[in-house]
Structure 1
Amino acid sequence: MKKTISTIFGLAAISLATLTTSCSSDDNKTEGPKSDFVVVRENLQGEIKSGEVILESGTYKLTGKLIVSNTAKLTIKPGVTIQATTVAKDKLEEVRYIAVAQGGQIDVQGTASSPVIMTSELQEPGAWGGLVLCGKARINKGTTAQAEVSNLTYGGTEDGDSSGSIKYLRIEYPGFSYSNTKEFNGLSFFGVGKGTTIDYVQVYESSDDGFEWFGGTVDAKHLVVSNKGDLLGDDLFDWTEGWIGNGENWYGIKTNAGNRGIEADNNSDNHKATPISFPNLKNITLIGTTTSIQGEAQGVKLRVGTKGKLDNVVLKGWATGFDVQHDESISYVGTDLLATNVKFEDVGVKAKGTATAVGGSTDVTKLFTEKADATGAGNGSGVPNWAAGWTKGL
């Protein structure tokens, strides 16, 4: 009899333990090493110092900066929304953003039917800081440097470094401004390595650049930038500091008086600094306007020593298609600075060149070859089929 009662109480204890576990919150459930970081849906902020944190479903309120530190990992499941709460413009220390430090990892697991969304309560450009990745690949600003808006270290010698994987992500209303010269972008790549996966990402209504590369070797496919609001954006795409990755299937559109489709630099302090920016891009559509608040309504601006090869490009609506500046970049025209199979639609001047000397106009027509039926990002100047379903406002 005693044995039977003991058995019954034992079974009851097991059942109670199972019930308690099954009813517990899964907001901080991890598939990898356990993290001490505590997820609070209404107050997501702080530093993930180790282990893996998983955001499972629903909406999380970003109430400050969220840093993924060395050895830590942030995994975001399909359909999750991260919403930055509103911060006063004079409270710079409270700006909301997400940053992955060197050695950290992010795994955005969105799908075409259920993308991950990073947005803000205040639905206007410049409402929050966006997403920052800092890797260990080479840059030409020094062996390492400090990211301009997070002060995290980036750069190094590990060109194959991985900051994780991002698929089917939409970033809305980023571009928080510290000053006239210091602003967040939508998605910033600081020395990010080629082991990182970037595929199917949209930046929607950013007050600064949509995507910007600061050196590194990361490749990026299926990118969308759309700026149609009255509040001005800057460039749709931007690279500097020696980016040598690949890009494929980019679609960018602006209907306001923002700036360029692509702004391409090597190093403004030393035009010959190595590694020299030299991305290879294909299947690109850039749609703009003939006006810009800075007077630079250019489809592609190539300057301060950048190289680059672009193929299958559609430029529509720009005052100038290609604008090449400075002797170093001009010297690469037709060889290491080349755009093949280009279609111009409603573009005022197809290409112009300006040498370093003031007023030094020069011929850069060898920069491009034309193709009347170029498809660009997939549908000429139309919205590409691959952007359907997971993007916004196209």
Structure 2
Amino acid sequence: MTNLTKIALSLATIAALTGCGDTSINYGDSTVTISGDSTITDPTDPTDPTDPTAPSEQETVIGNIAEDTTWTADKAWIMDGRITITDGATLTIEPGTYIAGKSTDSYLLIDKGAKIMAEGTSENPITFTSVDGLSGTDTTVGKWGGVTLIGNANMSGTQLSYEVDPTFIAGEGVANDSSGILKHVKILNSATEVEQDKETNGLSMVGVGSGTVVEDITVDYSGDDGVEIWGGTVNLKNISISNCTDDHLDVDSMYVGTIENLVINASNGYAAIEMSGTDTILTVDGFTITVDGFAEDASAEGGIFFKKAGVGGKFYNGTIIYRSAFAGAIYSQQDNELSNIDFENVGIYTDAGNAFVNQTDATTDSADDIEAIFAGGTGNDDTCAIPASTTLTGQITGCNVLTRDQSWVISSLAYTSADASVRIQDGTTIGGNDTSSYMLIDKDSKIFAIGTKYAPITFTDKANTSGVVGLWGGLTLIGNANMSATQLSYEVDPTFIAGVNVADDSSGVLKHVKILNSATEVDTDKETNGLSMVGVGSGTVVEDITVDYSGDDGVEIWGGTVNLENVSISNCTDDHLDVDSMYVGTIENLVINASDGYAAIEMSGTGTILTVDGFTITVDGFADDASAEGGIFFKKAGVGGKFYNGTINYNSTFGGAIYSQQIPELSNIDFGNVTINTTGTVGDYDFVDADDATTDGADEIKAIFDADTTNVVNYN
């Protein structure tokens, strides 16, 4: 937020903007002007590939908005000067909308009591950028101001005003206050100096409350901080920040909140994370911080900067990749609040051995004390190494960091020893050498593979072939959450045995991971899958997973309690999703596209209860029609499944949308708000028994389905 002399980035390079047409529309206190034609492609930085272009029609907005307003996706919205949402108004922004700042004094401010409802989607994010960005790729900083939220959650007892304009003052004492929703939003080319020590940022939040949703945010090319938070209680999830000229993330003024899944790529600026202000406590759970350099080495402030007396920070399940000889991966100034500092499952790689560094010396700063806390924490390692060989084979020990600047190859079985970790930088690709090659993360070890939407981590074959099944093995996790009384071993290699009864066990983090061209038959009835999980616990994060072109199952789960979110599976030659062996867990947001294989979902094993909330299952065909096992296959006696808020599109005349073999556990079967679209008429391909109604459960399942009036079957 300060260090303005550091930002020698040339507001002078900002191009002069053309006029804006001739039609004015008044609403509230705003003027909207329709103007000329532009297109957009987003920065082609490694974190952000080109997106579809913006619409040619534009409207220019000026002044205050004091009534509910919607910015639609059919035009690009140009902000001329500060646009303030005030007087309790709500600004709604449609998915796929482009908003551009006309000049360096243009930014969007949501005042306390007002709201922004900017809820994009993964396919159609909302994009804030510069006017130059609308006409092509813009990889420069500081073209416009940014987005600012003012809330009512200042919990400090001290007045908290917005440094750029102190007339905007956060309200006090409403911890769960809501300023609305920012979801799937990109903020590009932003942040400018207003005057000395007063700068806008990509995203600024002042006293914002925990009722505000801030998820799936990308901030790239900011002329000051990427995200700055003064006070408040707001929590954030799935945040990617890169190419900022000051701090990438800056928290201050008694901010107390949590960020889940944070990726920072810093090759400029002064700190990846800066924390200041007495009683500020930032918690980060799931992160990769990469520091490749600074704007000025002499002013470097490190990876995680505990800046002032009284500040705290808690960091869990993450990796710091620190490639600078200046400052340190953990950098301390003054006497930090040690009781509010914690680390768990954090790995640090440094080029120069500068993991913990004091800004001045140990008598005034706290790096030595922080290092002691780190050393006393569970699963921490400040001696992580980038493997000397890019071929991964045999036993993997210690803390290993796989970076995107190398071509990594799995040869034969590569497996982890107890207490080992594999930490993978966003944007990294790992290739399997051949059909016998797969990676296995054994119990009591961990994987931290935290990608982003624009820089996923990809497991594929060595040649990175396009769309061929079975070219290498896949990825396997073994955990400690076998909750059954029966030993649970990995079918491919029974020497790997799941631990028992640790329901919340963690095998690490898989986030924005693609698994392609995988799964092979090792022996009869012994096959690897795209992603295999054996006794994996609910402490494991498995989110935003794509499995495509698998030579057996896409995802198979034996036992355990792991939950999954945002999973896409397609082009598998056996089952797309297979759960077994008393697995009990939930998958949120599941998409299956099956045109091969035998079942979209197969469930077996007494005591298995799969819950799916939010799904689209499309079945267009099978590998062998005579062996078709349908859309959702209740395979064995004793199995249960609960399905909510989804659609089955069943386009086959074999098997059935709901297919049953033997009598499942009816007390563990439920449907709510489920639509089945199927060929034929009633009784043809909707609810089908594998053999007959005397031995199988399709009729009973249909009765459960029909009992809830939110469920519908449509016959084509």
For Structure 1 versus Structure 2, the TM-score category normalised by the shorter chain is: 0.7 to 0.9
Question: What's 1:326 paired with?
Answer: 334
TM-score, scaled relative to structure 2: 0.44
| Shift in Å, 1:292 | 4.2
Query: Aligned in 2, Cα 1:197/1:113: closer, same or farther, shift over 3 Å?
Result: same
Say which SS state the counterpart of residue 372 (structure 2) adopts: helix
Query: Aligned in 2, Cα 1:176/1:361: closer, same or farther, shift over 3 Å?
Result: closer
Deviation sequence 1:154-183 (CA, Å, 0-9, x none): 141111100000111111111111234211
Equivalent in 383, 388, 393 of residue 454 of structure 2: 388
Distance 1:150 1:79 in 2: 30
Distance 1:225 1:57 in 2: 28
Question: What's 1:351 paired with?
Answer: 356
Question: What's 2:305 paired with?
Answer: 301
| Shift in Å, 1:352 | 2.4
Question: What's 1:238 paired with?
Answer: 250
Say which SS state the counterpart of residue 47 (structure 1) adopts: strand
TM-score, scaled relative to structure 1: 0.77
Distance 1:138 1:38 in 2: 33
Equivalent in 179, 184, 202 of residue 186 of structure 1: 202
Query: Aligned in 2, Cα 1:193/1:381: closer, same or farther, shift over 3 Å?
Result: same
Between Structure 1 and Structure 2, which shows a larger proportion of strand residues?
2
Do the aligned partners of 2:331 and 2:367 also contact (CA within 8 Å) in 1?
A: no
Say which SS state the counterpart of residue 363 (structure 1) adopts: helix
Equivalent in 256, 259, 267 of residue 247 of structure 1: 259
| Shift in Å, 1:223 | 0.6
Distance 1:359 1:309 in 2: 21
Structure-to-structure mapping, 1:27-106, within 5 angstroms: 39-40=32-33, 41-86=58-103, 95-106=105-116
Question: What's 1:91 paired with?
Answer: none
Equivalent in 168, 180, 205 of residue 164 of structure 1: 180
Query: Aligned in 2, Cα 1:291/1:189: closer, same or farther, shift over 3 Å?
Result: closer
| Shift in Å, 1:44 | 1.1
Distance 2:114 2:292 in 1: 39
Q: CA RMSD in A?
A: 2.9
Find the structure with the greater CA-based Rg: 2
| Shift in Å, 1:121 | 2.1
Structure 2 counterpart of 1:285, which letter? T
Structure 1 counterpart of 2:341, which letter? L
Structure 1 counterpart of 2:191, which letter? G
Do the aligned partners of 1:303 and 1:324 also contact (CA within 8 Å) in 2?
A: yes
| Shift in Å, 1:233 | 0.6
| Shift in Å, 1:296 | 1.4
Do the aligned partners of 1:139 and 1:241 also contact (CA within 8 Å) in 2?
A: no
Which is worse superposed, 181-190 or 53-62? 53-62
Equivalent in 130, 153, 157 of residue 120 of structure 1: 130
Question: What's 1:18 paired with?
Answer: none
Aligned length: 334
Distance 1:159 1:316 in 2: 34
Distance 2:190 2:62 in 1: 17
Query: Aligned in 2, Cα 1:81/1:359: closer, same or farther, shift over 3 Å?
Result: same
Do the aligned partners of 1:67 and 1:100 also contact (CA within 8 Å) in 2?
A: yes
| Shift in Å, 1:251 | 0.5
Deviation sequence 1:100-123 (CA, Å, 0-9, x none): 000000011211111111111244
Identity rate, percent: 26
Query: Aligned in 2, Cα 1:217/1:62: closer, same or farther, shift over 3 Å?
Result: same
Structure 2 counterpart of 1:326, which letter? Q
Distance 2:122 2:423 in 1: 19
| Shift in Å, 1:262 | 0.3
Deviation sequence 1:298-351 (CA, Å, 0-9, x none): 110013211121101211134411012212x1x51xx42122222122343111
| Shift in Å, 1:379 | 6.5
Distance 1:211 1:117 in 2: 16
Structure-to-structure mapping, 1:170-249, within 5 angstroms: 170-227=186-243, 233-249=245-261
